[in-house]
A and B are shown apart, each in its own frame.
Chain A
Amino acid sequence: MTTDSFQIAGKTYSSRLLVGTGKYKDFDETRRAIDASGAEIVTVAIRRVNIGQNAGEPSLLDYLPPSQFTYLPNTAGCYSADDAVRTLRLARELLDGHKLVKLEVLGDSTTLYPNVLETLKAAETLVKDGFDVMVYTSDDPIIAKELENIGCCAVMPLASLIGSGMGILNPWNLRLIIENAKVPVLVDAGVGTASDAAIGMELGCAGVLMNTAIAGARDPVRMARAMKLAVEAGREAFLAGRMPRKLYSADPSSPVSGMIASK
């Protein structure tokens, strides 16, 4: 069996599970969950430092050293292209010229649905500025293609709303996006449990990005392991090629001849 690795912006990764670092009880739990997930790429947010905070206080970077993980700074909470670009320029300075970023520009605070117009604008600026942009977007195949054409290195449509755990609501659109794309397509947002991740991978996604599905589980470390296995299982199933669906047509698995005689 050949090794099944994938590339983002020219770098090869073996884990197709990307994880967020938010919503954990503490940094120790964050680290244990991320270790259990096997993720190599971890997202982080960029926020104002608390002035007056105890400077000796541990930080996320102490628990997840940038030497051991590929950081994916995000623009969570940004509602305009300008804010997103500004945030990622700060992230690049913070992480010593690091170019790989996750762009998300939100449309409203109730649904956290992406504002694709602002996302397109920000993507153009960032790509011109030399960033490797992994972009969060809606599951619209036309917008996904536009973002690829702009030069984004990965397109990441939502499965369902951020943090909702509602799973993959439109597998048909995801499939359209995947079949049209020449860059990796990752499901980002909406995964609730292991089967959602597996379905995403079975559809042909290059990877899955999640945070709340792990951090919000009763046992986050165990769920992290479940997600690792689900992503691997889904990828294997995709590569193996599933049997065709035969609607309303049964086909026995055991021989139909050689049955003992009926009395």
Chain B
Amino acid sequence: MIQLSINGNTQAFAAPLTVSSLVDQLGFAGKRLAVELNGEIVPRSSHADTQLADGDTLEIVVAVGGG
């Protein structure tokens, strides 16, 4: 198992785990979102081959209503 901090909350996941399988597991498959891993953006084209490691910090964002 690996511990990931996602949007400020720590959760455990079974390894190995890529960004795209994490997105799927969280139920956001097909949703338009952006992912930052340890402060660096992971382009959508790299989600499938970016492996996550224990202690990684992720930010996952979407567009919401705002002014």
* Chain A residues within CB distance 8 Å of chain B: 20-24, 27, 30, 43-49, 51, 54-55, 59-61, 71, 73-74, 76, 86, 89-91, 93-95, 162-163, 210-212, 215
Contacts and interface: CB of A to CB of B under 8 A. Distances in A.
B19 to A, nearest CB: 12
B59 A95 contact: no
A46 B33 CA distance: 10
A46 B27 contact: no
Contact of B63 (A24, A30, A46): A46
Contacts of A94: 32-34, 61-63
Interface residues of B, number: 27
Given A49-B7, A51-B7, A51-B9, A93 B34 contact: yes
B66 to A, nearest CB: 3
Contact of B62 (A22, A23, A47): A47
Contacts of A210: 67
B16 interface: no
B14 to A, nearest CB: 17
Interface string B11-52: 100000000000000111101111110000101100000000
B48 to A, nearest CB: 15
Nearest to A21: B65
B53 interface: no
B45 to A, nearest CB: 10
Contacts of B61: 46-49, 90, 94
Interface of B: 6-9, 11, 26-29, 31-36, 41, 43-44, 59-67
Nearest to A95: B63
A44 B67 CA distance: 6
Contacts of B7: 48-49, 51
Given A51-B7, A51-B26, A59 B31 contact: yes
A44 B34 contact: no
A61 B60 CA distance: 16
Name the residue among A44, A95, A210 with the largest chain B CB count within 10 angstroms. A44
A21 B67 contact: yes
Contacts of B26: 51, 55
Given A47-B61, A49-B60, A55-B31, A212 B67 contact: yes
Nearest to B6: A51
The 7 closest A-B pairs by CB, nearest first: A45-B66, A20-B67, A211-B67, A55-B27, A94-B34, A21-B65, A93-B34
A73 B60 CA distance: 16
Nearest to B39: A86
Given A91-B34, A93-B43, A49 B62 contact: yes
26 contacts: A20-B67, A21-B66, A27-B65, A44-B66, A45-B64, A45-B66, A46-B64, A49-B7, A49-B62, A51-B7, A51-B9, A51-B60, A55-B29, A59-B32, A59-B62, A60-B63, A60-B65, A71-B63, A74-B66, A86-B36, A89-B41, A90-B59, A93-B34, A94-B34, A94-B61, A163-B67
